[in-house]
Amino acid sequence: MRHTRHLLPALLALAPLAAMATPVTYSIDPVHSQVVFNVDHNGFSRSFGRLRITEGTVVFDRDDWSKSSVQATIDLASVDMGDTEWDKAVRGSSLLDSDKGRTAHYVSESVEKRSDDEGVVHGKLTLRGTTLPVDLPFRVNRVGKTIYGLHTVAGFSSQVTLDRTAYGMTANRGSIGTDVSVWLEIEAIRGGEAPRSNDKETSDAPAQ
């Protein structure tokens, strides 16, 4: 009983430390994550395309965003412009050059919090053998369980404009715009909670 009297205050003193949030690692879900871009086409319209994120991780600390980080791999050969011949042209050596370098990589260097749900990732993008700084303003959409409680998901949105010529894509300046608008919609699953393959169809079905 004497030991119990001393143990209880010690546990109560440690409780706030146990309750403090710590960095949590999430794996980017390639099924529910998208890279969408558009670029001016001859002044007539803006053409849209999509790329797949094949893998990546997000480390997120709700209490201290400076401890957060992100890294992602993008499959350049997956480009989808809505037309087979156009896909082939964009994959070609004058643009994405996916035969020479299949993937692009983004790695953060720091994360800055600007409001309760908005911040900026400061990092570097490697594309076509060129590595340049790229800051990604982002919004934390939601962190929580899916409707079936199968796993915990962190969702983020980001938008940035890139100069394609900075990465060596200098062809077709007369018909293709220089500035490329890029949107990222990211869902990442908390480590150890990745869904089974047969959960993919049902886990996001509308609630009954």
103-117: average pLDDT: 97
Question: How many Cβ atoms are within 10 Å of 34's Cβ, its own excluded?
Answer: 15
Give the pLDDT mean for 100-123.
Answer: 97
Cβ neighbors of 42 (< 8 A, separation 6 or more) are 175
pLDDT tens sequence across 30-52:
999 999 999 999 999 999 999 99
CA torsion sign for 22, 23, 25, 28 is: positive
192 has a pLDDT exceeding 80: no
More confident of the two residues 24 and 8: 24
Confidence label for 193 from pLDDT (cuts 50, 70 and 90): confident
The residue written with tokens 């871009």 in the block is 37
Q: Which amino acid is at 174?
A: G
Question: Given pLDDT bands bounded at 50, 70 and 90, which one contains residue 15?
Answer: very low
pLDDT of residue 45: 97
Q: State residue 195's pLDDT score.
A: 53
Give the Å distances, CA to CA, from 140 to 6, 28, 143, 177, 203.
Answer: 43, 14, 8, 30, 21
Nearest to 160 by CA among 129, 127, 116: 127
Confidence at 21, pLDDT banded by 50, 70, 90? low
Per-residue model confidence as pLDDT tens digits over 147-173: 888 899 999 999 999 999 999 999 999
Q: Which residue has the higher pLDDT, 124 or 9?
A: 124
The length of the chain in residues reads: 208
180, with CB counted inside 10 A (0-12, 13-18, 19+), is: buried
Residue 8: pLDDT above 60? no
